[in-house]
Amino acid sequence: MTAINSSIEPEKSEDTERYSAFTALRHRDFRLLWLGQIISVTGSQMQLVAVHWHVWLLTKSAFALGMVGLFRGGPIILCSLIGGVVADAVDRKRLMIITQSVMLASAACLTAVTLAGLSHVWPIYFFTAIASSASAFDTPARQSLMPTLVPARDFANAVSLGVVVFYLAMIGGPALAGLLLASHGPGIVYGINAVSFLAVIGALLAMHTRGRAIGEATTRVSLGALKEGLRFVRRTPIIVQTMTLDFAATFFASATALLPIFADRILNVGAHGYGLLGAAPAVGAVVTGLVMARIGTFRRQGRLVIWSVAIFGLATVGFGVSRVFWLSLLMLALTGAADTVSTVLRQTIRQLATPDYLRGRMTSINMVFFMGGPQLGEVEAGAVAALIGAPLSVVTGGIGSMVAALIALLKGKSLMSYDGAPRN
């Protein structure tokens, strides 16, 4: 563990008195990407809410809602490994411009077919799968690019601000989508998402940072390059354990796919309430993310990851048993807060433990876990909800997440002993 700890510790800032929650925004290229992501991720969150609501309106089927997760997660699992190899072999900025353009085109096509009068669910699944396939290449490129935009001492702050962007989008996106769904339907939401991708494309074009990986040798798109990435992950226990815990927790505790059922039939709050339910996790997450960005460094990070996953599962159980709207919002906000702690710490550990020329491949392997888990979890949640009902599906999922945390507590020795705090 000593070698791993020394490789992932960020340098101490020489100007600690000026450190703030927004320190990483002092760096121009990170600031450009961060601002572009606020717009783009908001559009994506709006579309995700609209897709689930649209599928529910067309089918009234919990299983059909769960299938959205299959068409989002399947392409990620199939394409992410090659996506990581490509991200390490080509200019990452150019790759992102291509992937963002593909996602723009997918949202635009979904807008067109919806406004033309969509009566079948399969086009929603199809264009969702296209966008997810592009995401399997976009995410390794973006996360691999991130450590080159800020110095190592500011990277944890940059990760926290990146999480804040995502959850700010989850606040504004679902809430705005709920209003538009109630007044105009899903077509306008898909159109807004299509336009939002222009923000990231513009940011990438304006950035000065080089997009090619810095490493020991030029990476080529090959089976050997993929095997090199797999070997690195397999031989780094702290990465393996964080990935496994993430997958198990999110696979079982995927309640978001079932929110339309809770809004429509259990809490009786309609489309407006559905938007608030979708935004609730982000409220807790944004507050937590800003606090973590301000603090900067945490001790006993491994244990914090495990306990945050346990709290995530407990809050999911609380949401499943709640029949009071405000309590449901509170439990969802707590899931967002716990997930933020886990996400920031896990991503900081993994990115700084990985050499730049391997970051795309490490991220792509992790995508199978941190994106495949939630999406396949939606399939599991939908199937279980169809059998025993949505509330019990959510409750059993939360229990599964807590069991995963307990196993990590007992078996994850590298994670339990990991302390990423800088040494004096």
* Mean residue pLDDT across the chain: 82
181-185, 282-286, 297-301: which range is least confident on average? 297-301
Distance set, CA 196 to CA 35, 48, 108, 236, 265 (Å): 12, 14, 11, 38, 32
In the predicted model, is pLDDT for residue 129 greater than 90? yes
Q: For 333-346, what is each residue's pLDDT tens digit?
A: 999 899 888 888 88
pLDDT confidence tier of residue 218, bands split at 50, 70 and 90:
low
* pTM of the predicted model as reported, rounded to 2 decimal places: 0.70
pLDDT at 381: 77
pLDDT at 215: 54
pLDDT confidence tier of residue 422, bands split at 50, 70 and 90:
very low
- Residues 284, 289, 292, CA angle at the centre, nearest 5°? 125
Rounded CA gap, 317 and 327, in Å?
12
Q: How much of the chain is helix, strand and coil, in % rounded to 5?
A: 85, 0, 15
- DSSP symbol at 147: G
Rounded CA gap, 319 and 394, in Å?
8
Q: What is the mean pLDDT of residues 282-292?
A: 83
pLDDT confidence tier of residue 197, bands split at 50, 70 and 90:
very high
Q: Which residue has the tokens 């399969």?
A: 122
pLDDT at 164: 81
pLDDT confidence tier of residue 296, bands split at 50, 70 and 90:
low
Q: What is the mean pLDDT of residues 64-87?
A: 84
pLDDT at 65: 84
Q: Phi, psi at residue 384, to the nearest 5°?
A: -70, -40
